[in-house]
Amino acid sequence: MKTNPAYASLAYRKAIVQFVSSSIKTRLLGLTGEPTERLLCDDVFPVDAEVPAEELVDFIGELNEEEARLDLEMNKFEFTRRANATPEQRQHSKKKKRKKSRPAGPEQAN
């Protein structure tokens, strides 16, 4: 069985966001020790080229928001094996099937 392509796309994006966030934290901010790299911006004067830590922290905040948004979207998918489903989930599934198979009677037409 393959992963639903829509879910996989969200999961891949989440992995990218997590990687970028982690890389910035460890390599540029040095949250696990000393920073090992500097990020330079080519669009400003050389004296201002090093991207300030505040900008990096703000960007990490945006990445965190994106990760939370992706989590919400991923949580809309349901992955449950019938054999492993709880009795409540099985009962809920049976109710859904019964509702779909019943023809609409006059009392339901309103």
Tens of pLDDT, residue by residue over 32-80, are: 888 999 999 999 999 999 999 999 999 999 999 999 999 999 999 987 6
As a whole number, the mean pLDDT across the chain is 83
The three-class DSSP label of residue 38 is coil
Longest dimension (CA), the chain: 78
Question: Would you say the pTM of this structure is higher than 0.75?
Answer: no
Strand partners, 50: 40
CB 36 within 8 A of CB 30: yes
**What is the C-alpha separation between 89 and 32, in angstroms, rounded?**
43
